Structure 1
Amino acid sequence: MSCSEHNLITVSQAIVQIQETLQHKADVEWLSLAEAVNKVLAADQLSTLNVPPAANSAMDGYGFNAKDLATDQSTRLPVGLRVAAGDQPGILPSGMAARIFTGAFIPENVDLVIPQEQVKVTGDHVEVQPGWQIGQHIRNTGEDIAEGQQVVAAGKRLRPQELGLLASVGVMQVPVYKPLTVALFTTGDELIEPGQPLPEGKIYNSNRYTLLGLLQQTGFKVMDGGILPDQHDATKQALLKASHQADAIITTGGVSVGEEDYVQGVIQECGTVHLWRLAIKPGKPLLYGQLDKKPVFGLPGNPISSLVTYLMVARPVLQQMQGLHETKPASYQFKAGFAKKKNLRRAEYLRVQLQPQAGELTIVPYPKQGSGVLSSASWATGLALVPADTEVNQGDLLEYWPFGELI
């Protein structure tokens, strides 16, 4: 493949190309609502009932029949019925009021509710002023959800609010996609695990723990393969074994053009390399291929390059494999609180914070944006995109992804 920067592809182009190669279909399992949080729903869920199942009061107050109330003067009526939430509503006798509480079913003959603060109570009578409207403060049958209505669509990640919604229509178990199994490898003879003495020429393995946390937080099962040595046979053996055991493989390092970079060679030898090198900074050396029809993401070895390419490319693809329909993270536009010279041919993802300037939030980059400056990611609240061939001036609008959307 050509190393010319003119042949580099964008993130959007890479994702489309990768999606065209995917053949994985996640298995389905049934889980109780108590077990299903953060799982991806595998089938549309329809309501078998109305919510609310019957008209009920939205207020603590008094229920009336409009025919018993004057429109031009106050009306005084005896209280002939009391209805609390969970009671059988009964029938309101003509010429009387009903004491009613929030959530209580509306008695027959009641067509409006007046809050208790707006009536005058004297003994067992209430006095009502004109100005009421028929239907006020009554929640109608099926007002929230109608019988047969789709409650939650397939392909949606189940948050606590979806679990509560499903429970409200009586659903106890749901079909969800089983979590993907992702094999994770870090490569390089220079790496050593934290907690050990650091010999000269070695560095601690940060990528392993960054990616392990990202994968686990997204809900994937991780086959942690640890550090692969810079050896062709060891790399080949580990990747082929993982391709038979995992749904996808992620590596970091070993995808450049150095003599000790073996990941790309193994994929070319035993599978297919579909793309290599993106028009982005950091993260240009990203590689995507397949072994045994399983996706392999060869992320760059530099910590920030590895983080950015996982978040912007690998993560949405893995989420699609997991069955999620909406995989594009939400982004927002904010003004730049800085100026920057044009970055030729490659889009740049900056580690940034939102900081107040002149009464509004603006994007402020970390002072050091090198691909090895991992402290920038801990400092940042998100990523901001500077498009290729674009000069940034103070006040220009930039696209911003909060880490809360990406992680």
Structure 2
Amino acid sequence: MSCGVQGVLRLAEAQQQLAAMLTCCVGRETVPLGQAQGRVLAETVIARYPSPRFDNSAMDGFALQAADLAATGPLPLAGTALAGHPFAASWPSGSAVRIMTGAPVPQGTAAVVMQEQTEAVVQGESAAIVLRAAVKQGQNIRRCGEDIAAGEPVLAAGVRLGARNLPLLAAVGVSEVVVYRPLRVACFSSGDELRDVDAVLLPGQLVDSNRYGLRALLHKLGCEVLDLGIIPDDPAALREAFLRGDAEADVLITSGGVSVGDADYTRQILAELGEVAFWKVAIKPGKPFACGRLSRARHGRWFFGLPGNPVSALVTFLLLVQPALERLMGADSAPRLRLRATTLEPLRLSAGRIDFQRGMASVNAEGELQVVLAGEQGSGMFRALAQANCLICLDDQAYPDQSQLAAGSRVEILLFDEVMT
């Protein structure tokens, strides 16, 4: 990464540069499957067993042998197969076996007919069935390994484990997994005007709200958080905080101090301790954004500097820092899915950048996606962000020579995912 400050970058350029210079920075460990929720796989997982593990019935019904698939007369019942209790008795030709969903199919089974396609009858003193529908060879049988074969790769490194894939690993006999160690992130807010939420505020002082949102975002990403608190606008105090973050964490994130004010020392300290690629990213809110590496500190940790305005900080985190942290923790970071929606009200455009306005998306009676503004859009306005469920992406390059979009226009939206809730 080059030293010195770059000019204003388009969002895609900034995202590409981050992706190019960041790689996983944490070690590995082995954990039991029951403790793997939210962890990121560090190596490909191989199935120990097939799934399904044995041929089994997909329906409650009756197992039939090949010679009886077209039977026109009653078929007496030779027994019952239950899940966990296979049928193991003699099974003469010309009879059926009652079978429940998930039960192993008896040896010689050619098909399972669902009970709704049969009629129960009595033949002498025995129960029997009569087929009331055509039966095809192999129907309603789940074959061993038809989903996953033993020895087959099932999940690749970089996958974050959760409710969708942990059952898969259990089903194929994986009892422990190799995962990346949680990313440890130090964070602080900088500014003489900031105070804790329970402090008595003097004129000109503000509650430091940004760290509450930042900590919530980091915890949902599975990071361990080292909260360094509020650091005053003092070069010595800032330098000490940077060095502590370098010594005790993998990454350092700050809020405030990356604009052009006389007391914004963050960039100055970062330049002293390492390399800086300070980006003014062409987005609104969130234009001031700093990224660098403390290469002249002992451990050379990465650093991300968020704007001080609350909405700017959270939007910048979502667009730039979250995918960067995912790369550092070894997780796959797919591009965020953008959807098309109809705006129900006029929207203003900002020349020279992408304006991410806070919106409320919904589906109308026709099943079409629509969106309205969530409220006032200033970068210090909390209510709109708290009420929003998406960002409306107003890219000036997509609407050349326009300063406003009329109601009924089609726009792109980014739905907030579980990290932002």
Q: Same fold (TM over 0.5)?
A: yes
Aligned counterpart, 1:217: 220
Is contact 1:33-1:174 (8 Å) kept? yes
| 1:8 Cα offset (Å) | 1.3
Distance 1:327 1:184, change over 3 A: farther
Aligned counterpart, 1:64: 64
Aligned counterpart, 1:40: 40
Any idea what the Cα deviations from partners look like across 1:34-80, whole Å, max 9, x if unmatched?
11101101111111222112211111111112312437xx3211112
| 1:325 Cα offset (Å) | 1.6
What does 1:242-321 align with in structure 2 at a 5 Å threshold? Answer: 242-292=245-295, 293-321=300-328
Distance 1:87 1:400, change over 3 A: same
| 1:358 Cα offset (Å) | 6.9
Is contact 2:63-2:111 (8 Å) kept? yes
Aligned counterpart, 1:100: 99
Aligned counterpart, 1:152: 155
Any idea what the Cα deviations from partners look like across 1:342-378, whole Å, max 9, x if unmatched?
3210101111001455743311113311111011110
Question: Aligned equivalents of 2:269 and 2:206: distance in 1?
Answer: 25
Distance 1:260 1:144, change over 3 A: same
Is contact 2:77-2:98 (8 Å) kept? yes
Question: Aligned equivalents of 2:70 and 2:337: distance in 1?
Answer: 54
| 1:161 Cα offset (Å) | 2.3
Distance 1:118 1:347, change over 3 A: same
Q: 2:385 aligns with which of 377, 380, 390?
A: 377
| 1:295 Cα offset (Å) | 1.4
Does residue 54 (structure 1) correspond to residue 54 (structure 2)? The answer is: yes
State which drifts further: 387-396 or 45-54.
Answer: 387-396
Secondary structure at the residue paired with 2:104?
Answer: coil
Identity %: 37
Normalized against structure 2, the TM-score is what? 0.91
Distance 1:10 1:136, change over 3 A: same
Question: Aligned equivalents of 1:166 and 1:115: distance in 2?
Answer: 30
| 1:2 Cα offset (Å) | 7.5
Question: Aligned equivalents of 1:14 and 1:118: distance in 2?
Answer: 62
Q: 2:203 aligns with which of 180, 200, 205?
A: 200
Question: Aligned equivalents of 2:36 and 2:84: distance in 1?
Answer: 29
Secondary structure at the residue paired with 1:286?
Answer: strand
Letter in 2 for 1:375: R
State which drifts further: 182-191 or 94-103.
Answer: 94-103
| 1:223 Cα offset (Å) | 1.0
Is contact 2:311-2:379 (8 Å) kept? yes
Aligned counterpart, 1:345: 352
Secondary structure at the residue paired with 2:316?
Answer: helix
Aligned counterpart, 1:165: 168
Question: Aligned equivalents of 2:362 and 2:86: distance in 1?
Answer: 56
| 1:320 Cα offset (Å) | 0.8
Secondary structure at the residue paired with 2:186?
Answer: strand
Question: Aligned equivalents of 1:39 and 1:214: distance in 2?
Answer: 16
What does 1:106-145 align with in structure 2 at a 5 Å threshold? Answer: 106-123=105-122, 124-145=127-148
Unaligned runs of 5+ in 1: none
What does 1:170-181 align with in structure 2 at a 5 Å threshold? Answer: 170-181=173-184
Q: 2:76 aligns with which of 50, 63, 78?
A: 78
Is contact 2:349-2:355 (8 Å) kept? no
Secondary structure at the residue paired with 1:298?
Answer: strand
| 1:116 Cα offset (Å) | 1.6
| 1:330 Cα offset (Å) | 2.8
Aligned counterpart, 1:228: 231
Secondary structure at the residue paired with 1:132?
Answer: coil
Is contact 1:343-1:388 (8 Å) kept? yes
Any idea what the Cα deviations from partners look like across 1:122-159, whole Å, max 9, x if unmatched?
23221113412111111111122112222211100001
Aligned counterpart, 1:402: 415
Is contact 1:92-1:110 (8 Å) kept? no
Question: Aligned equivalents of 1:366 and 1:328: distance in 2?
Answer: 24
Question: Aligned equivalents of 1:75 and 1:129: distance in 2?
Answer: 10
State which drifts further: 80-89 or 224-233.
Answer: 80-89
Normalized against structure 1, the TM-score is what? 0.94
| 1:217 Cα offset (Å) | 1.5
